[in-house]
Amino acid sequence: NAGVTQTPKFQVLKTGQSMTLQCAQDMNHEYMSWYRQDPGMGLRLIHYSVGAGITDQGEVPNGYNVSRSTTEDFPLRLLSAAPSQTSVYFCASSYSRGGGLASPLHFGNGTRLTVT
Amino acid sequence: GQQVMQIPQYQHVQEGEDFTTYCNSSTTLSNIQWYKQRPGGHPVFLIQLVKSGEVKKQKRLTFQFGEAKKNSSLHITATQTTDVGTYFCAEPRVRQAGTALIFGKGTTLSVSS
């Protein structure tokens, strides 16, 4: 049981390049999300998904795209990388709950991205 | 949307001293979760509090949920070097497509022996 798998672990991009951060989970979780972590800023929600075909913006969505074609995968696309997107990116998943409740998140090991 | 407020941002203690981090929200929370992130690692779920006034313990860690469900705290008794890391609280936030977890900025704990 691998849990949440993120690839790559490290990536260096040049300004303007595009790339996709991969996230896969094998726990049959409906809910998946992407966070970025910057010093002193905590974890900020980029995008989330409550099931295949359903995605929504989080707190800091600009410059990022997502799609959810399967329950298992939730890739994060950087369209045109900028130095401000230098960060550590975490993917997380959980079972979905309604009514304003949330289930505990399972995090991947993170992707450290540097944009020069 | 405003992040849930967490204080202090940093705390340094001597091994054996106690430590507390606080989480405050302007709105009534349905529940609150706590996570720990070791240096270089990923956040790991610690506990979830749901009921007003709830107190839960995990060995030397005590978690409290306020009576009004607007604040929460994590208290560590007699800290050890293994407690080093960043502690986050997280609140569920109803958004357009569903409920997402919003994290506080965290409290980073350092412990000297």
For an interface test with B, give the residue of A9, A30, A36, A45 to mutate (most B CBs within 10 A).
A45
∠ CA B43-B46-B51, rounded to 5°: 130
Is residue B1 over pLDDT 80? no
Q: For residue B83, list its beta bridge partners.
A: none
∠ CA B58-B26-B3, rounded to 5°: 75
Q: Please write the tens of the pLDDT for every residue from B37-90.
A: 999 999 999 999 999 999 999 999 999 999 999 999 999 999 999 999 999 999
Q: Which of residues 52-111 of A touch B (CB under 8 A)?
A: 54-59, 90, 92, 96-102, 104-110
Map residue A108 onto helix, strand or coil.
coil
pLDDT of residue A112: 98
Written as one letter, the residue type at A81 is A
Distance between CA atoms of residues B1 and A64, nearest Å: 19
Is residue B93 over pLDDT 90? no
Query: Across residues B104-112, what is the average pLDDT?
Result: 96
Expressed in angstroms, the distance from the first to the final Cα of chain B is 40
- Nearest-Cα distance to chain A for B99, in Å, is 6
Under-70 pLDDT residues of chain A: 1, 98-99
A90 to B105: CB separation less than 8 angstroms, yes or no: no
Nearest C-alpha in A relative to B34:
A104
A104 to B48: CB separation less than 8 angstroms, yes or no: yes
pLDDT of residue A97: 73
Distance between CA atoms of residues B59 and A95, nearest Å: 27
Q: Please write the tens of the pLDDT for every residue from B23-32.
A: 999 889 889 9
